């Protein structure tokens, strides 16, 4: 059986005949290089030459396509770098503004125009702005190294031995950690005001709710960092690592919603009491109750999401 890639004898003979006819028609080609006579001597040689020409053309075409793709990738890389450089410049400006605000706050506190809480708030803003700036710088470094968008998943690969995911999570965790310290100070101040009767118990409850939310956020970062390390050590595969992170985030949502529900219930009860006394309108009570119902629905959805994720985790554990 003839190979599908082998030229048919009829095709080879026709090709050779056309070449001979062309040479006969053009006398000027009599002085052609020796390789033309070599082609005319054998139809098979002519076919081989055609095949080589086709392969060379395909190779050149591949080089052209590869060059086009490379140019496109270089252009995308340049656009990404320019974009993130602009973000980095804006973030640095926010850091400078936060530092100026801290200086102004310290001056106002020194002359008795503001309380110490203003300084604590200004210090937190510096930490948050610096965290944003460092995170963008990390993303920019990854783009320069890879030429693509930064990866954020727990199962993302290392880049030249550098763990950008862990690096950025640690940076991002510094903001809620600083906010947590600030909220602890606020809670103490709120409790002192409640104790002397110059503030409502709801004020301290609101501060306690924010404190619990921030604790959940910091704890979630710590758990995700631990999952990341376990993945890098190959103690779990990528799918399980992704599921574990989803589980942590679902648990964080539940921990965040629960204290909000407790606060919403207290607010609704407080508004109901004031409506009976005539110091609040029924529309305020309706709004407070609607807020409570919405949070309860959010809690049910978070519980369902968590249950579905944990079911997938259990199925994978059983399937091992």
Token output for 7: 């030229």
Low-confidence ranges of the chain (pLDDT < 50): 1, 28-31, 35
Least Cα distance to 86 among 18, 139, 154 occurs for: 139
Token output for 119: 């300084």
> What spatial distance separates the first Cα and last Cα of the chain, rounded to whole Å?
50
Report how far residue 127's alpha carbon sits from residue 120's, in angstroms, rounded to the nearest whole number: 11
Coil, strand or helix at 152: coil
Per-residue pLDDT tens over the stretch 157-215? 999 999 999 999 999 999 999 999 999 999 998 999 999 998 899 999 999 999 999 99
Per-residue pLDDT tens over the stretch 200-246? 999 999 999 999 999 999 999 999 999 999 999 999 999 999 999 99
- What pLDDT, on a 0 to 100 scale, did the predictor assign at position 117? 84
Report how far residue 180's alpha carbon sits from residue 299's, in angstroms, rounded to the nearest whole number: 23
């Amino acid at each position: 059986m003839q190979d599908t890639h082998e030229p048919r004898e009829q095709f080879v003979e026709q090709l050779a005949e056309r070449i001979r006819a062309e040479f006969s028609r053009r006398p000027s080609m009599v002085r052609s290089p020796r390789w033309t006579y070599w082609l005319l001597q054998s139809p098979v040689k002519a076919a081989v030459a055609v095949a080589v020409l086709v392969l060379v053309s395909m190779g050149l075409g591949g080089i052209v396509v590869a060059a086009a793709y490379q140019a496109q990738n270089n252009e995308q890389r340049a656009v990404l770098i320019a974009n993130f450089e602009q973000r980095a410049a804006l973030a640095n400006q926010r850091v400078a503004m936060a530092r100026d605000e801290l200086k102004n706050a310290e001056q106002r506190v020194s002359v008795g125009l503001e309380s110490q809480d203003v300084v604590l708030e200004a210090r937190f803003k510096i930490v948050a702005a610096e965290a944003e700036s460092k995170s963008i710088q990390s993303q920019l470094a990854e783009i320069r190294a890879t030429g693509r968008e930064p990866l954020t998943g727990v199962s993302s690969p290392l880049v030249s031995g550098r763990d950008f995911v862990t690096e950025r999570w640690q940076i991002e965790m510094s903001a809620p950690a600083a906010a947590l310290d600030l909220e602890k100070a606020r809670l103490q101040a709120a409790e002192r005001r409640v104790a002397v009767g110059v503030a409502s118990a709801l004020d301290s409850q609101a501060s306690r709710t924010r404190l619990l939310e921030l604790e959940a956020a910091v704890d979630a970062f710590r758990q995700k960092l631990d999952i990341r390390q376990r993945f890098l050590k190959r103690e779990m595969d990528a799918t399980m690592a992704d599921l574990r992170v989803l589980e942590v985030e679902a648990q964080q949502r539940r921990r965040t919603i629960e204290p909000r529900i407790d606060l919403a219930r207290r607010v609704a009860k407080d508004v109901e009491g004031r409506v009976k006394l005539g110091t609040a309108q029924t529309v305020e009570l309706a709004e407070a109750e609607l807020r409570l119902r919405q949070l309860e629905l959010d809690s049910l959805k978070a519980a369902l999401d968590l249950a579905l994720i944990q079911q997938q985790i259990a199925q994978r554990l059983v399937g091992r």
